[in-house]
Amino acid sequence: MTKMHRGKKAAASLMAGILLCQMFVFGVSKTSADAREVAKKMSFEVVGEGIVTVTDTAERTQEITSGSVIEVPKGMCVRVQAESPKETDIAVHVLDKDGNYELEDVSEVQGKCFWRDVTAMELEKKVVVTFGKEDKKIRAVRTGQTRGNYNKPEAGDVFTGNCVITAVDGGNGHTVHSVTIGGFTGILAGVTATGGCADHTAAAPYVGQEYTYRYTVTGVNKVTGEVMGNLYCTSVTGATDGVTKDSDGRLIGYQRISGSALIYRNYSGYAKLKKGKTQTMLTNGNPQYSLEDACYGIYKDRSATNEAATFTTDKEGNSNTVELEEGTYYVKEKKAPKGYRLDETVYPVTVVSGQTVSVNVKDVPVYSDMELILEKIDQEYKAGKSHGAGSLEGAEFTVCYYAGIYDQATLPKTPDRTWVLKSKKEKDSYESRLNKDYQISGDDFYYAEDGKIPVLPLGTISIEETKAPEGYSLDGAYIESVEGKTEGTYYLTKIIQDGNLAKIQGGNTYKIADRIFRGDIEFQKKDEETQESMARIPFRITSVTTGESHMIMTDANGYFSSASNYVKHSENTNTGQAESGIWFGFNSGGEMSEVNDDNGAFPYDTYKMEELRCGQNVDKALYKGTFKISRDNYILDLGTIMNPDLVISTVAKDEETGTHYSNADESVTVIDTVTYTGLKKGKEYVMKGTLMDHKTGEPVLDSKGKKIFGLQKFIPKTAKGSVEVEFNFDGNTLAGKNITVFEECYLDEELIAVHKDIEDVSQMIHFPELKTSVKDDQTGIHIIKSEKDMQITDTVEYHNLKKGKKYKITGILMDKDTGKAVKDANGEKITSSVEFVAEDTDGSVDVKFNFDGTNLGGKILVAFEKLYYGEKLYGTHADLEDEEQTMYVPEVETVALNKETETHHALADGTVELLDTVKYRNLLPGRNYTLHGMIVEKETGNPVSEERTLEFVPEKSEGSVELGFEISADELCGKTIVVYEEIKADGKSIAEHKDPEAKEQSIYFPEIGTKALDENSKTQEGEAKEKQKIIDQITYKNLLPDETYVLKGVLMDKETGKELLDENGKRVTAGISFVPENEEGTIEMTFELDARMLAGKSVVVFERLYDEEEHLIAKEEDIENADQTILYRKQEIPKNTIVEKPGHNSKEVRKSPKTGDENRMDLWLVMLCAFGIAVVTEIVIYKRRNR
């Protein structure tokens, strides 16, 4: 903690009779005008055991410890005194503020006490006082280099030279305030500097005195070029050493001078390069990519020919920092790093003095964008053409990628990415490619910057066929690349860098060859009746897939084998004799593969084999069959071939009902069960059925005019059995018809049996038919009134039923507009049903619907009917467009308006004409109807008018008619009337609209009443004064909420019965627009008037109510209405007022004085005096404080 105390004796005598620079008391000057200079900080460090104090000219002393900081004005000094309890080395160093450089000569003594003056100049200083032996290494660092770079000095550089004193401010027995120095040699040549005394008890310098200097650079701003340094000058002759003193304690010799100097230099700038990565998905974790060792040239010209320097990057992509003269340069890559393309871009860069500019670049990695193609080929054809039913499509390949260059011995166990691909049929080949169209599982692909095409980074890939396509074997497979053929299904290759490109060593296209399955057949041919072998029987075998066909023949024992160990394939190949070999090998291009006796004769495929007619099988049923080669190197035994007889019969039924009756709807399924005998098990047969019209004998046609067929392929397990043939068709057009099913049986497209009997009831299906006609029980027509008790009868005609059977008909009413079931007023569907016994195949039955239809006005109802036998649906009639099934429920909507105003309001005064527009819906055009209208009072339901009628014939089902009324409105004030309408047909009501709450049917007669009060008295009496207000409270009734109304009022002179006029001859009126929330309420309106001339008179408020379109709809204008009347009393003369004689002005006798009535000058004078005294007092206090 710093202490302040009066100085010791040693410090008290230091200032007497000494030529010194003016001293401040730690920043506050007593005498010099230079006290305005900015104070500079001076910090201290104490090393070793001792006491350090600083003293000012006021003899105030402050004890200093390490870390102490004081402020001393620029040009002023303090005396630093060091005291040790024992004899020791004492040194005082003056350093820069950071303690890095010696700014002045070191003062060193041996003893117990030593002092030194330190001057505060432009630069902040740090004073280090050392007790005891100093650390030589630290001192050596502080001393710095004795000579720096003259053109580009750096902080810590020290320069020396000579200089001359050119001016001294003070001296000759007076205080030296400053010293001007010039004539510099060396780095300060041409500079004029101003300094201050560094040794205040030594002799003052004089003009012309020669000095040497030491210039220590303390700071460099390379951007501006400013070089700031400490200047320390020593006289060439007679200079004080800062230590030796005379008997009076003064330093012997001339003062040294301390100051600072600012010079300017042009500095270089710096540049560095940061290389980033792109497409890191390709490069991260891959040792084949590195940012290290990229080389960029730095050129002075855009063409990159005049090189100034180079950048070289490390593994993080950071380059060395290069020093360059200020200016513009061009950077271009000379050598790309491992795994990256050479960047041809030239990057301009501007170097600024003292600044470091960074060049940011990104390299693009090298990768293979050549699509990897795996071409699947057949070994025998050596091309993308398959044998028989074999397919080169669907082969599976596993491609593994490893981030690094490996061979089979060093390959990691786990790849970085794995893709499973499948071969597909292309235009002229079967291929698999490294993209999503072919991938069936595995990791994501690597993608370049566009993210569209998969690529392969540098590294290693393996290709392996892991699943052969259908009909092929992996045994003996091979992979062919640009490097040649590799046996097996596995191949390893590398993706390596080739300049700016990458290449796959094995190429990007690989042919992968598999071998087709091949097998053989054998069989024995016998006569079914005699069981004797049949020799020399020819057969034709045909490939189902390719159509390739060859002849074979049984041997003398009725035996045949295609195996090469029986007859070699290469022996008289395909000549069709018992001693000939056989070989199937044609592909789709008509090319024959080479015959190979080591493999089977038949490639993977299904083959048809048919027995050919010859002398040995005359009158025999010829064999037709198929066999399939599905195993490799396997002989398929077809057993013994013989020929049977055939018989078929059928029973047809509807799938839904399980009977010979079917519902004629859009989806009918008939199942015909065909029973057969004499078929061969294991053979494929085709049963083909046709639906025939029983009446015409012609095929039944569907909605598109095409015949209706059923087809079923089957393979019998035994010679006897049955098969179902299914017919699915739209039966909407078959209602009332009978159909018969015909069946044909085929073997290998040859007709072998039929069953076609048009009268066979077992093969017959019957379609019942329904027809309906719906009417209203009251009107007898297709119109019915919406009311609580509604009854509709639907007469249903049926056809094609079975006589004597019990049936049920269910009905439901549908909404024609929505197509959904309509619901009654209770929210229930409207249904009905009836059971009956068919007395004949054709007849009729009534279905009655009874319901509450008060909610069905405006609806169109359609009756849907269904016919059931038990729980089975036999027929439907559900046609929304059938007029005979349709009932119309009329709807009436009315809009009643005041004919004059075309609104729902009317004034209860005299005769009012009304016009009711009646909109109707669901009437039958062309019929006569009568409209009946009547007006009733809403509250009582009593008639207000006589009934009006209008006959009309609508042209359309929807329209409108108008009916006019004329009524007396005198008694209707505050009431509402409603127009009731009803439409009748042939005297029977079919629709009505009689809703007392319907706004659109209503006419409203508003009523208003008023209560006027004087605003001041809150009574019906007011004072006859100039500015008066009347508040009129209007009560209204029978308005429509949320509609806009306008109230207008006028003041009437009760005496004359005329409108009251103001002094300008204008009427006194008021008005207001409002929107009521309820039909009844009150509202206030204010009248403003000059009542001075109304003493003893009465005014009456008249009010009128208008709708938004300014139609008058209510009024209150009764001159005798006391509630509307205001009486203005005569004004009395106040007692405290004197009225002078005519010709003189009257003057009020005031009860109390008013502000501003009198001129109080005495108060103003008192206030002014007080203000003056306050000002004088403040001046005196201010001067005392600043003495």
User: Is the per-residue pLDDT at 477 higher than 50?
Assistant: yes
Q: Please say whether the beta carbons of 517 and 469 come within 8 A.
A: no
Average pLDDT over every residue of 53-74? 87
For every residue of 715-782, which 3-state class applies, written as one string?
CCCCCCEEEEEEEEECCHHHCCCEEEEEEEEEECCEEEEEECCCCCHHHEEECCEEEEEEEECCCCCC
Dist. CA 894–CA 998, nearest whole Å: 9
Q: Please say whether the beta carbons of 871 and 659 come within 8 A.
A: no
Assign 748 a pLDDT band (cuts: 50, 70, 90).
Answer: confident
Give the model's pLDDT for residue 123: 85
Average pLDDT over every residue of 193-210? 91
Average pLDDT over every residue of 169-195? 87
Assign 37 a pLDDT band (cuts: 50, 70, 90).
Answer: low
DSSP assignment string, 520-558: EEEEEEB-TTT--B-TT-EEEEEETTT--EEEEE--TTS
User: Is the per-residue pLDDT at 34 higher than 50?
Assistant: no
Give Cα 340 to chain centroid, integer Å. Answer: 36
Give Cα 1069 to chain centroid, integer Å. Answer: 62
pLDDT digits (tens, 9 = 90+) for 230-259: 999 999 999 998 889 898 888 999 999 999
Residue 256: name the closest of 190, 191, 163, 184 by CA. 163
Backbone angles phi, psi at 372, to 5 degrees: -75, 120
Assign 1150 a pLDDT band (cuts: 50, 70, 90).
Answer: very low
pLDDT digits (tens, 9 = 90+) for 493-507: 999 999 999 999 999
Q: In this structure, is the dihedral angle defined by the CA atoms of residues 279, 282, 286 and 292, taken in order, positive or negative?
A: negative
Give the model's pLDDT for residue 664: 85
Q: Which amino acid is at 403?
A: A
Give the model's pLDDT for residue 687: 94
Give the model's pLDDT for residue 1119: 94
Give the model's pLDDT for residue 918: 92
Q: What proportions of the chain, in percent to the nearest 5, are helix, strand and coil?
A: 5, 50, 45
User: Is the per-residue pLDDT at 987 higher than 80?
Assistant: yes
Dist. CA 957–CA 501, nearest whole Å: 82
Q: Which two tokens stand for residue 18?
A: 């000494």
More confident residue, 997 or 1170: 997
User: Which residue do the tokens 């000759």 mark?
Assistant: 172
Q: Please say whether the beta carbons of 465 and 376 come within 8 A.
A: no
User: Is the per-residue pLDDT at 486 higher than 60?
Assistant: yes
Assign 143 a pLDDT band (cuts: 50, 70, 90).
Answer: low
Dist. CA 978–CA 995, nearest whole Å: 8
pLDDT digits (tens, 9 = 90+) for 826-856: 999 999 999 999 888 889 999 999 999 889 8
Give the model's pLDDT for residue 188: 94
Average pLDDT over every residue of 881-909? 90
Dist. CA 259–CA 163, nearest whole Å: 13
Assign 644 a pLDDT band (cuts: 50, 70, 90).
Answer: low
Strands, DSSP E only, in 97-225? 107-119, 125-131, 158-171, 174-182, 193-197, 210-221
User: Is the per-residue pLDDT at 3 higher than 60?
Assistant: no
Q: Which amino acid is at 74?
A: K
Q: Which two tokens stand for residue 974?
A: 């505050």
Average pLDDT over every residue of 38-49? 91
All residues at 6 or more sequence positions from 108 whose CB lies less than 8 Å from its CB, including other chains: 89, 90, 91, 92, 243
Average pLDDT over every residue of 878-883? 86
Assign 597 a pLDDT band (cuts: 50, 70, 90).
Answer: very high
Give the model's pLDDT for residue 1178: 53
Give the model's pLDDT for residue 990: 87
User: Is the per-residue pLDDT at 1155 higher than 90?
Assistant: no
Kind plus residue range of the DSSP H or E element containing 143: helix 136-143
User: Is the per-residue pLDDT at 1151 higher than 70?
Assistant: no
Residue 733: name the closest of 762, 702, 712, 770 by CA. 702
Assign 573 a pLDDT band (cuts: 50, 70, 90).
Answer: very high
Average pLDDT over every residue of 146-166? 87
User: Is the per-residue pLDDT at 911 higher than 60?
Assistant: yes
Range name among 142-146, 265-269, 505-509, 644-648 with the lowest pLDDT average:
142-146
User: Which residue do the tokens 């432009």 mark?
Assistant: 122
pLDDT digits (tens, 9 = 90+) for 376-430: 999 888 888 888 889 999 999 999 999 999 999 999 999 999 999 999 999 889 9
| Domains parsed from the chain with CATH numbers | 4-264 (no CATH), 269-363 (2.60.40.10), 367-516 (2.60.40.10), 518-640 (2.60.40.10), 647-766 (2.60.40.3930), 769-883 (2.60.40.3930), 891-1004 (2.60.40.3930), 1007-1129 (2.60.40.3930)
User: Is the per-residue pLDDT at 544 higher than 90?
Assistant: yes
Dist. CA 135–CA 1, nearest whole Å: 27
More confident residue, 777 or 573: 573
Q: Which two tokens stand for residue 770?
A: 């329904």
pLDDT digits (tens, 9 = 90+) for 1075-1121: 999 999 999 999 999 999 999 999 999 999 999 999 999 999 999 99
Q: Please say whether the beta carbons of 1071 and 1050 come within 8 A.
A: no
All residues at 6 or more sequence positions from 1144 whose CB lies less than 8 Å from its CB, including other chains: none
pTM exceeding the 0.85 threshold for the entire prediction: no
pLDDT digits (tens, 9 = 90+) for 1117-1147: 999 999 999 999 876 555 444 344 334 343 3
User: Is the per-residue pLDDT at 9 higher than 50?
Assistant: no
Assign 449 a pLDDT band (cuts: 50, 70, 90).
Answer: confident
Dist. CA 365–CA 336, nearest whole Å: 10
Assign 623 a pLDDT band (cuts: 50, 70, 90).
Answer: confident
Q: Please say whether the beta carbons of 861 and 815 come within 8 A.
A: yes
Residue 865: name the closest of 767, 781, 794, 817 by CA. 794
Assign 543 a pLDDT band (cuts: 50, 70, 90).
Answer: very high
* Average pLDDT value over all residues in the chain: 87
Our CA angle for 820, 823, 825, nearest 5°, is 160
User: Is the per-residue pLDDT at 452 higher than 50?
Assistant: yes
Backbone angles phi, psi at 392, to 5 degrees: -85, 0
Q: Which amino acid is at 205?
A: P
Backbone angles phi, psi at 368, to 5 degrees: -95, 115
Q: Please say whether the beta carbons of 213 and 231 come within 8 A.
A: yes
Q: Which amino acid is at 1089?
A: L
Give the model's pLDDT for residue 1130: 75
User: Which residue do the tokens 């006796």 mark?
Assistant: 597
Q: Which two tokens stand for residue 232?
A: 């320390």
Give the model's pLDDT for residue 1006: 96
- Return the SS3 of 636: strand
Give the model's pLDDT for residue 831: 93
DSSP assignment string, 448-516: -TTSSSEEEESEEEEEEEEEPPTTEEEEEEEEEETTEEEESSEEEEEEEEETTEEEETT-SEEEEEEEE
pLDDT digits (tens, 9 = 90+) for 797-823: 888 888 888 999 999 999 999 999 999
